[in-house]
Amino acid sequence: MKALVEYLARALARHPDQVVVEEERFGDRIVLRLTVADEDKGRIIGREGRIANAIRSLLYVAATRAGVRATLDIE
């Protein structure tokens, strides 16, 4: 799941080398923290959060298949 979010964020960012994804596990729950360059935040979030919601939807599907719950925080 970490690799999925990292792949999508790097594809969208203008500075893909500054994309960092950290993963924290709490039992059956996973929290992914996505950090990007300040000028890339708008590209990752998108208008009205559409891109961020699309990434979260893909993450939800991957987490469901793995039998865990996952959330995405964009910093």
Write down the pLDDT at residue 37.
96
Q: What is the pLDDT of residues 9-52, one digit of tens each?
A: 999 999 999 999 999 999 999 999 999 999 999 999 999 999 99
Residues 37-54 as b/e (b if ≥16 CB within 10 A, e otherwise) read eeebeeebbeeeeebbee
Which residue type does 49 have?
G
Domains of the chain in start order, with CATH, are 2-74 (3.30.300.20)
